[in-house]
Amino acid sequence: MVQVSADSQTSTRIAVVGATGYAGGEILRLLLDHPGVKSGELSIGSLMAGSSAGTPVSDAMPHLIALADRTIEALDLEKLAEHDVVFLGLPHGHSAEIAKQLPEGMVIIDCAADFRLRQQSDWDTFYGGDYAGAWPYGIPEMPGHREQIAQSARVAVPGCFPTGATLALWPAVQAGLIEPKVSVVSITGVSGGGKKASVGLLGAETMGSLKAYNTAGKHRHNPEIVQNLTEVGGEGVQLSFTPVLAPLPRGILTTATAPLAAGVDEATLRAAYEQAYADEAFVHLLAPGVQPQTQAVLGSNACHVQVEVDQRAGTVLLTSAIDNLCKGTAGAAVQCMNLCLGIEETAGLSIAGVAP
């Protein structure tokens, strides 16, 4: 574990690679409000990217006023190695090559998929290319993960869909309250597709329309969700996952249904979630009858969860809402950095959303 010095003259230096992407920009937004950055214990160093290298931050990310005098730099491994913490906000397939050229003790938080999957067969099927192995997985709220992250200098930040689905499902799976045959539908905003030129993400294509995509087991987050549920519940997890693109900038609303295990009622289900999340700062079990909604979590690192039993259908309905760019990516990244550095896990992260 890396210790942060209280001496502002020896601050922990942080670099962001892929700084102008949605994940990189959100990481920077959160860091600017981090008490460690404000005190000088942490400092924001190089901001690197590919095609936007040479662009002033004031042009690339005008909302980050405190960094307006900075310029985006091209990737420079020597310069990157001078930092203590590196966030990698790149498309999959790039992080592994960079990480292996950086010092062993450096804290690296990867927001791509390169180190998320523990089975090479899953990587080969859904991504392809060289398999780089797996790092500690960045959902601290999963059993045992907080301790693994705190003892590591390398963390793989989960995908946004697996975050919402896992937080909605794992307590029920672990406690055996549902049969492990799960159907998940996640409605997401367009920022989940990244900041790239794509006809399918144009306003004219998305406004006033809903569209399912990568259906019937084809989405790359499929094996990640199964991996998480298998970890807490054992083998035999069956998943049907359907992502739906909605005309929203941010947010993911996930609904998960599964057959109810014998003898389980809503009180038992709710008690399991109350116990699982009693001490979690960022996961909030809503009062009975209150439904999660994306606007309540926008800009925050919170996940709102609701649990219900449909006795007529013999099923459980588990619902969650997250901000895909915050708890789903950048907020999780900062949360994991805090753990790696041995500082307050919640530092720089809000549970208050922006509404309306």
Helix or strand run (H / E) with residue 308: strand 303-310
SS (H, E, C) 212-242: ECCCCCCCCCHHHHHHHHHHHHCCCCEEEEE
Catalytically active residues are 160
What angle is formed at CA 84 by the lines to CA 83 and CA 86, rounded to 5 degrees?
A: 75
Cα–Cα distance measured from residue 121 to residue 139, given in angstroms and rounded to the nearest whole number: 22
Of 296, 292, 323, nearest to 305 (Cα)?
292
Half-sphere exposure for 25 (CA within 13 Å, toward CB): 19
